[in-house]
Amino acid sequence: MPDMSVEVGGLKLRGPVLAASGTFGYGTEVPLLERRALGAMVSKGIFLRARAGTAPPRIVETPSGMLNAIGLQGPGAEALIRDYAPKWAEWEFPVLVNINGESASEYGEMASLLDGVPGVAGFEINISCPNVEQGGLYFGNDPRAAAAVTDAVRKRTRLPVWVKLTPMVSDIGVIARAVESAGADALCAINTFVGMSIDLNAYGPRLSFRTGGLSGPAIRPLAVHLAHQAARAVHIPVIGIGGITKAEDGLEFLVAGCTAIQVGTATFVNPKAVAEVHDGIAAFLAARGFSSLAELPRYLPRD
Ligand SMILES: Cc1cc2nc3c(=O)[nH]c(=O)nc-3n(C[C@H](O)[C@H](O)[C@H](O)COP(=O)(O)O)c2cc1C
Q: Assess whether the C-beta atom of 21 lies below 6 angstroms from ligand 1.
A: yes
- The pLDDT of residue 129: 86
Q: Assess whether the C-beta atom of 167 lies below 6 angstroms from ligand 1.
A: no
118 Cα–ligand 1 center, Å: 25
Burial class (CB within 10 angstroms; exposed 0-12, middle 13-18, buried 19+) of 117? middle
How much is the mean pLDDT over the chain?
A: 96
Q: Looking at the chain, how many residues does it have?
A: 303
Q: Assess whether the C-beta atom of 23 lies below 6 angstroms from ligand 1.
A: yes
Catalytic residue among 129, 179, 256, 282: 129
Confirm whether 129 is a catalytic residue.
yes
289 Cα–ligand 1 center, Å: 34
How large a percentage of the chain has pLDDT more than 90?
Answer: 92
78 Cα–ligand 1 center, Å: 23
Q: What is the average pLDDT across 140-155?
A: 97
DSSP string, the chain: --B--EEETTEEESSSEEEPTTSSTTSSS-TTS-GGG-SEEEPPPB-SS-B--PPSP-EEEETTEEEE-----B--HHHIIIIIHHHHTTSSS-EEEEE--SSHHHHHHHHHHHTT-TT--EEEEE--SEEGGGTTEEGGG-HHHHHHHHHHHHTT-SS-EEEEEPS-SS-HHHHHHHHHHTT-SEEEE--PEEEE-EETTTTEESSTTSEEEEESGGGHHHHHHHHHHHHHH-SS-EEEESS--SHHHHHHHHHTT-SEEEE-THHHH-TTHHHHHHHHHHHHHHHTT-SBGGGS-------
Measured from the Cα of 74, ligand 1's closest atom is 8
Among protein residues, the one with the nearest Cα to ligand 1's atom 2 is 22
Q: Assess whether the C-beta atom of 160 lies below 6 angstroms from ligand 1.
A: no
- The pLDDT of residue 30: 76
**Out of 54-63, 126-135, 168-177, least confident range:** 126-135
- Say how many C-beta atoms besides its own lie within 10 A of residue 219's C-beta: 23
Burial class (CB within 10 angstroms; exposed 0-12, middle 13-18, buried 19+) of 291? exposed
Among protein residues, the one with the nearest Cα to ligand 1's atom 18 is 191
Q: 165-193: b or e for each residue (b if 16 or more CB lie within 10 Å)?
A: bbbbbeebbebbbbbbebebbbbbbbbbb
Pocket test for ligand 1, best of 23, 164, 219 (most atoms within 8 A of CB): 23
Q: Are 281 and 247 in contact (CB under 8 A)?
A: yes
- The pLDDT of residue 133: 84
Pocket test for ligand 1, best of 66, 215, 219, 249 (most atoms within 8 A of CB): 215
**Out of 7-21, 29-43, 191-205, 239-253, least confident range:** 29-43
Domain ranges within the chain, ordered by starting residue: 6-295
Cβ-Cβ contacts under 8 Å for 123 (sequence gap 6 or more):
96, 97, 98, 99, 111, 114, 153, 157, 159, 160, 161, 162
Q: Are 24 and 39 in contact (CB under 8 A)?
A: no
- The pLDDT of residue 32: 67
**Out of 32-46, 77-91, 159-173, least confident range:** 32-46
Residue 303 predicted with pLDDT over 70? no
Among protein residues, the one with the nearest Cα to ligand 1's atom 19 is 191
Residue 131 predicted with pLDDT over 90? no
- Tell me the per-residue pLDDT of 209-256, one tens digit each, with 9 for 90 and over: 999 999 999 999 999 999 999 999 999 999 999 999 999 999 999 999
Q: Which residue has the higher pLDDT, 299 or 129?
A: 299
Q: What is the average pLDDT across 179-206?
A: 98
Q: Assess whether the C-beta atom of 265 lies below 6 angstroms from ligand 1.
A: yes
Q: What is the average pLDDT across 139-158?
A: 97
298 Cα–ligand 1 center, Å: 26
**CATH number of the domain at 6-295, please?**
3.20.20.70
Q: Which residue has the higher pLDDT, 302 or 14?
A: 14
Measured from the Cα of 128, ligand 1's closest atom is 11
pTM (two decimals):
0.97
Q: Assess whether the C-beta atom of 244 lies below 6 angstroms from ligand 1.
A: yes
